[in-house]
Structure 1
Amino acid sequence: MSFTDAVRTCLTAKYATFSGRARRAEYWWFSVLYVIATLVIAGTSLAIDVPLVNVLLLPFVVPMLTVSVRRLHDTGRSGRRMLIALIPVVGPIVYLVGMTADSTPGANRYGPFPEAVPHPAG
């Protein structure tokens, strides 16, 4: 999945879809967009001395949560596993390692293997 495919999928086709699975490329490409958007918006709000970061990032919060849950589903884990990131120091490390894990081959309880599913038309 390319950067544009991942962004299109997360921001339109699966904006608020917690069910299903997301491959590593979809998660990481959207994470790159999220970090870039955060840096740009934070830089802009510092330049004009207005704390706009939280307000301007609101459209990205839901798709970031949904792609994270779908990524955990792809590795065979529950979306509630995201809560592990709330544990100080160790939690974020365990969370990031979980996001780099390989997909569960074939279908699992969260859906069919993502490559077997045709991409949504966009």
Structure 2
Amino acid sequence: MTFVESIKTCILQKYISVQGRASRSEYWWFILFSYIANFIANFIPLIGILIALALVIPSITVAVRRCHDLNRTGWLLLAPALMIILGGIVLALAFSVQSEIIMYLAVFMLVIGCIGGIALSIYFIFPGTQGPNKYGEGPYVFTENKATTQA
């Protein structure tokens, strides 16, 4: 899948769809697009916020489909996200009550969440399962020693 095909698939065809599977190229091209779009949009305040918000849902759905390609549930994404969100809440609490122990707990939660996010990113580098799995047909066509994505 090319850069443009990935953007079309994630934004126009599967914006809110968590059904099916996403190839590595679909996932990584779309993530690259999201980073580039957010970087450029940061220079235009109001439009930047709208673009960032518009890209949240397809970024989550393509990550869920990527989990499906690896024959894992999309709920796997929730653990690091919850650790980061809860860590932020606990950090705010630590500042409000001025407690070092609570602050250390919050930082620990944030670090664990970030490590989990990095681990998932590394996991997404691996190839998906060949052929169909419990989440649907694979996005790949296998010919001899080469795998290509279906358009």
Return the TM-score normalized by structure 2: 0.69
Q: What's the RMSD between the two structures over aligned residues?
A: 1.7
Higher relative contact order (CA 8 A, sep 6+): 1
Instruction: Note closer, same or farther for the CA distance 1:52–1:12 as it changes in structure 2 (3 Å cut).
Output: closer
Per the alignment, residue 101 of structure 1 pairs with 126
1:48 aligned residue: none
Match of 1:36 in 2: 36
Deviation >2 Å, runs of 4+: 51-56, 84-89, 115-119
Q: Check if 1:55 corresponds to 2:80.
A: no
Alpha-carbon distance between aligned partners in 2 of 1:28 and 1:39, rounded to the nearest angstrom: 16
**Percent of pairs identical after alignment?**
34
| Structure 1 gap ranges (5+) | 46-50
Q: How do 1:19-34 and structure 2 match up within 5 A?
A: 19-34=19-34
Is residue 22–residue 69 contact of structure 2 (8 Å, CA) maintained in 1?
A: yes
Letter in 2 for 1:35: Y
- In structure 1, the residue matched to 2:18 is 18
Matched letter for residue 80 of structure 2: A
**Is residue 101 of structure 2 the alignment partner of residue 76 of structure 1?**
no
Aligned residues: 114
Unaligned runs of 5+ in 2: 84-109, 142-148
TM-score under structure 1 length normalisation: 0.84
1:64 aligned partner, one-letter code:
S
Letter of the aligned partner of 2:58 in structure 1? P
